[in-house]
Structure 1
Amino acid sequence: MIDLRPVINLIARIGFVLGLMMALPAVIDYQARDPNWVRMVQSMLIVTVLSALIATASRSRAGSLTIEQSFLLTSGLWLVLPLIGALPLMLGAPKLSFTDAYFESMSGLTTTGTTAIPKLDDLPPGANMWRAILQWSGGLGIVVVAMVFLPVMKVGGMQFFRSEGFDTLGKVLPRAGQIAAEMTWLYLGITIACAVMFIASGMSFYDALLHALTTCSTGGFSNYDASFGGFIGPAEWVASLFMVLASIPFVRMIQATRGDFVPLWRDTQVRTYLRWIFYSVAVIVAYRMLYIHQTMHPWDTVRETTFNVITIFSGTGFASTNVLEWGHLPFVVLFCVGLIGGCTGSTGCSVKIFRYQVLFEAIRAQIRRMQSPHRLYSLRLSGKRLEHDVVYSVMAFFTMFVLTFGLLIVGLALTGLHPKTALTGAWTAIANIGPVWGPEVSYNGSIASFPTAAKWLMTLGMYLGRLELMSVFVLLLPRFWRG
Structure 2
Amino acid sequence: MQSSPKYQVPNKPSHYDRRQEQSHLRQVFDWVAPIIKLLGMLLLLLGSFKLAPVILLFAEGEQADTQVFFYSMLFTLVSGAIMVALGSLAPFDLRGRQVFLLTSLSWLVLSFFSAFPLLFGSTHLSVSDAIFETVSGITTTGSTVLSGLDSMSHGILLWRAILQWLGGIGIIVMGMAILPFLQVGGMRLFQSESSDWSEKAMPRSGTIAKAIGKVYLGLTSLCILSYWLAGMNGFDALVHGLTTSATGGFANYDASMGQFASTPLILWISILFMFLGALPFVLYVHLIQGRPLILFRDSQVKALTKILLAAIVILTFYLVSQNKWGWFDALTHATFNIVSVVTTTGYAASDYNSWGTFAVVFFLYLMFVGGCSGSTSGGFKVFRHQLSIMLMRNQMMALLHPRGVFSQNYNGRHVPDDVIRSMVAFTFFFFATIAALALALSFMGLDFITSFTAAVTAVANVGPGLGVTVGPAGNFSSLPDLGKWLMALGMILGRLEIVTFMILFTRAFWRS
TM-score if structure 1 supplies the norm length?
0.95
2:248 corresponds, among 212, 216, 219, to 219
Q: CA deviation at 1:164?
A: 6.3
For the aligned residue pairs, the C-alpha RMSD in angstroms reads 1.7
Q: Deviations over 1:136-176 (max 9, x none)?
A: 00010010011111111100011111246879xxxxxx944
Separation in structure 2 between the aligned mates of residue 166 and residue 73 of structure 1, nearest angstrom: 25
Q: CA deviation at 1:242?
A: 0.5
Say if 2:43 and 2:79, in contact at 8 Å, map to a contact too: no
User: After the TM superposition, which residues 166-315 of structure 1 pair with which residues of structure 2 at under 5 Å, given as runs?
Assistant: 175-232=204-261, 233-290=264-321, 292-294=322-324, 296-315=325-344
Structure 1 residues 473 and 442: CA distance shift in structure 2, 3 A: closer
User: After the TM superposition, which residues 416-431 of structure 1 pair with which residues of structure 2 at under 5 Å, given as runs?
Assistant: 416-431=445-460
Residue 348 of structure 1: aligned partner: 377
Say if 1:418 and 1:438, in contact at 8 Å, map to a contact too: no
Radius of gyration: which is bigger?
2
Separation in structure 1 between the aligned mates of residue 378 and residue 32 of structure 2, nearest angstrom: 29
The answer to whether the aligner puts 1:372 opposite 2:378 as a matched pair is: no
The answer to whether the aligner puts 1:20 opposite 2:20 as a matched pair is: no
Farther-moved stretch of structure 1 (321-330 vs 234-243): 321-330
Farther-moved stretch of structure 1 (175-184 vs 104-113): 175-184
Separation in structure 1 between the aligned mates of residue 469 and residue 343 of structure 2, nearest angstrom: 25
1:100 corresponds, among 109, 126, 129, to 129
Separation in structure 1 between the aligned mates of residue 450 and residue 480 of structure 2, nearest angstrom: 12
TM-score if structure 2 supplies the norm length?
0.90
Separation in structure 2 between the aligned mates of residue 354 and residue 104 of structure 1, nearest angstrom: 29
Say if 2:350 and 2:472, in contact at 8 Å, map to a contact too: no
Farther-moved stretch of structure 1 (364-373 vs 54-63): 54-63
Give the residue type in structure 2 aligned to 1:281: I
1:113 corresponds, among 142, 159, 166, to 142
Q: CA deviation at 1:478?
A: 1.1
Separation in structure 2 between the aligned mates of residue 444 and residue 225 of structure 1, nearest angstrom: 8
Q: CA deviation at 1:444?
A: 4.9
User: After the TM superposition, which residues 60-99 of structure 1 pair with which residues of structure 2 at under 5 Å, given as runs?
Assistant: 62-63=91-92, 65-99=94-128
Residue 461 of structure 2: aligned partner: 432
Q: CA deviation at 1:435?
A: 0.4
User: After the TM superposition, which residues 114-129 of structure 1 pair with which residues of structure 2 at under 5 Å, given as runs?
Assistant: 114-129=143-158
Say if 1:157 and 1:391, in contact at 8 Å, map to a contact too: yes
Q: CA deviation at 1:180?
A: 2.4
Separation in structure 1 between the aligned mates of residue 485 and residue 233 of structure 2, nearest angstrom: 36
Separation in structure 2 between the aligned mates of residue 451 and residue 115 of structure 1, nearest angstrom: 14
Q: CA deviation at 1:453?
A: 1.0
Q: CA deviation at 1:108?
A: 0.3
Say if 2:353 and 2:467, in contact at 8 Å, map to a contact too: no
Separation in structure 1 between the aligned mates of residue 89 and residue 511 of structure 2, nearest angstrom: 21
Give the residue type in structure 2 aligned to 1:89: L
Separation in structure 1 between the aligned mates of residue 45 and residue 237 of structure 2, nearest angstrom: 24
Separation in structure 1 between the aligned mates of residue 173 and residue 89 of structure 2, nearest angstrom: 22
Separation in structure 2 between the aligned mates of residue 448 and residue 39 of structure 1, nearest angstrom: 23
Q: Deviations over 1:342-375 (max 9, x none)?
A: 0000001101001111111011101100000011
Structure 1 residues 364 and 166: CA distance shift in structure 2, 3 A: closer
Corresponding residue SS for 1:121 = helix
Give the residue type in structure 1 aligned to 2:306: R
Residue 181 of structure 2: aligned partner: 152
Separation in structure 1 between the aligned mates of residue 327 and residue 356 of structure 2, nearest angstrom: 17
Corresponding residue SS for 2:406 = coil
Say if 1:108 and 1:131, in contact at 8 Å, map to a contact too: yes
User: After the TM superposition, which residues 308-457 of structure 1 pair with which residues of structure 2 at under 5 Å, given as runs?
Assistant: 308-441=337-470, 444-457=473-486
Runs of 5+ consecutive residues of structure 1 not aligned to the other structure? 168-173
Separation in structure 2 between the aligned mates of residue 439 and residue 104 of structure 1, nearest angstrom: 20
